[in-house]
Amino acid sequence: MAASTRGAPQLRLVRPLATAYALGLLSSTSPRIIKILILVAKRKLEPHAAWRQLNRVIRQALALHRFPTFCGVLVGGSTLLPIPVYRLVSGVLQAIPVVPTISTSQRRRFATFLAALLSASLSFRLLNRVPTSLQQDVEAAQPLTHLEVCSPGPFDEPPERSSREIDASTLDAKLLTRSDLAGRTMDLTLFSVIRALDIAVSTMWDHATRSGTAEKAKLVSSITPPLLFCFSAATIMHAWFYTPSRLPTTYNRWISAAAELDQRLLLTLRHARYGTWVYGKDTGMASLLGSMCHDYGLPEEYGDPSKTVPIPCELVHMGRGKSCEKHAVLRFCRGWAFAAKMYAPLQLVILARFARKHRRAGDQYGLSGLNLDATVRAAVDMARSSAFLGAFIALFYYNVCLSRTRLGPKLFSSKVVTPQMWDSGLCVLAGCLMCGWSVLFERPRKRLEILFFVLPRAAATWFPRRYLPEDRWKEHLAFSISAAVVLTTAQESPRRVRGVLGKVLHGVLSTK
């Protein structure tokens, strides 16, 4: 009994490491396992082949350079190292009499931060230590051109302007291949930096508003998330149109699936921006939209820029009528349905957890735990979140039409702002700037979660996705410090880590 009592504290300290590793393993393998099981259920994959793929997924996830090990080292080190680090810090401070007296709580916080810093640095190195045999797979996952993000249209994609990718001449001069480039953890680093900045800014804001009026502070706090989301959404959508290589490949595909934009129309907007599709000139691009007109039952001259100026919105609506308002409503409905397919299963999971928590004794299936209020609340949340995405899509399309044909030409003379200027970027910019206001459909708490999801992705468009290995130390430093700030705050003051992340980290890091 005495031995088990002595061992209990050590087991409690190890629990965060095991929990983090399990969560990392679950999050990294579940999507691929579910996809394999769906293929088996649809009889598109033989059981023997499915077993081999499942085995490969598990073996890859258990490797030292994979995400589960990263999570285990990051969290485990943050809970196991503070005690020895605290003793080391205390011993050093006692050996230096000139150092001012530091309280025990201050030493403990510094030891916690230092332990988290060391853990973050080690986990970053592990995650970036990719075996040579897998470097080609890492390279293949990075988008280099438009053609790797979208299926090619009837013409080649125009080159992206101001691309942040390392050019071939630089690689040759450095004697490197593209698979040697660093940056595979850029999204994770930006996420950590954004969350650390949120902690710092919100902490300073709380201290600054203690002496000010509460009403002004509340107003600013309620306005800031929607404004930041609008900025982030505009940045992401603009990148999706003109520089998709700055976004993750899977994110590009998800936006394409939600937008349901004909590839030929998207290609036309890119060519218009890059000067290879011009109104009033025969640049050999008439058949690009001509084939689209033919498919949607419209006169082919509608798609000829030398004959039709500007291209009518009826073509932008992709055969769904002339009315921009009806098209926006239809886009809202289709976007709502697209989002409901994602949110409905999540709400069912939440209902199941609620029912299990509140079920009565003797109820095997837990259905007695359900009540009308919980069911209605889940349905309303699903409808509200779906309306957010539906409104996002509808606002984008409607403001594109408003700017290029309805409202824009009435506000600005065609001599000042020409149709070419509208279709080469201004109409897309109008849609980008307005679509983000759909976030007002969501509750304030949910707006913050959505903001934390999109803001790192918007920030990623400002940096190259792959960069020279000699610059990795910058990302290493940024990740280590920001992750240490987040983990230390989650242990010392968990309420400072806002949103779901704060609750998750508090539960994972708890040793009680």
Above 60 in pLDDT, residue 368? no
Return the closest-CA partner of residue 202 out of 451, 461, 460, 480.
451
Q: Write the pLDDT tens digit of every residue in 437-456.
A: 999 999 988 999 999 999 99
For 232-252, give the DSSP string.
HHHHHHHHHHH-GGGS-HHHH
Q: Count the alpha carbons within 13 Å of 511 in the hemisphere toward its beta carbon.
A: 18
Amino acid symbol at 26: L
Distance (Å, whole) CA 383 – CA 394: 16
pLDDT(237) > 60: yes
- Rounded percentage of the chain residues whose pLDDT exceeds 90: 48
pLDDT score of 150: 46
Q: Is the pLDDT of residue 140 over 80?
A: no
Check residue 141 and give its pLDDT.
44
Phi, psi of 448 (to 5 degrees): -65, -40
Please tell me the predicted confidence (pLDDT) of residue 370. 62
What is the per-residue pLDDT for 42? 85
CA separation, residue 248 to residues 245, 253, 410 (Å):
7, 9, 38
Q: Is 419 a residue whose pLDDT tops 80? A: yes
The pLDDT of 384-408, averaged and rounded, is: 95
If pLDDT is split at 50, 70 and 90, which confidence band does 408 have? very high
496-503 own/partner pairs: CB under 8 Å, 24+ apart: 496/199, 496/202, 496/203, 497/195, 497/199, 498/198, 498/202, 498/448, 498/452, 499/448, 499/449, 499/452, 500/449, 501/195, 501/452
Task: Mean pLDDT check: name the lowest of 61-75, 278-292, 356-370.
Answer: 356-370
Instruction: Assign 21 a pLDDT band (cuts: 50, 70, 90).
Output: very high
| CA angle in degrees (0–180, nearest 5) for 34-39-41 | 90
CB within 8 Å of 460: residues ≥ 6 apart: 186, 187, 190, 246, 247, 248
Of 504, 398, 487, residue with least CA distance to 119: 487
DSSP H or E segment with residue 272: helix 263-273
pLDDT of 97 higher than 60: yes
In whole angstroms, give the CA distance from residue 450 to residue 445.
9
**Helices and strands counted in the chain (H then E):** 21, 0
Tell me the pLDDT tens digit for each residue of 242-263: 988 888 888 999 999 999 999 8
Look up residue 424 and give its DSSP letter.
I
Give pTM, 2 decimals.
0.86
List, as one string, the DSSP characters of 43-82: TSS-HHHHHHHHHHHHHHHTSTTSHHHHHHHHHHHHHHSH
Amino acid identity of residue 331, one-letter, is R
pLDDT tens digits, 473-488: 999 999 999 999 999 9
Task: Look at residue 382 in the predicted model and tell me its pLDDT.
Answer: 92
pLDDT at 219: 77
At 175-194, the pLDDT tens digits run 888 788 888 899 999 999 99
Chain mean position to CA 457: 5
Mean residue pLDDT of the chain comes to: 85
Least confident piece of the model among 100-104, 234-238, 456-460: 100-104
pLDDT at 146 over 60: no
Say whether 106 sits in a helix, a strand or coil.
helix
Residue 52 CA to residue 54 CA, distance in Å, equals 5
165 in Cβ contact with 142 (< 8 Å): no
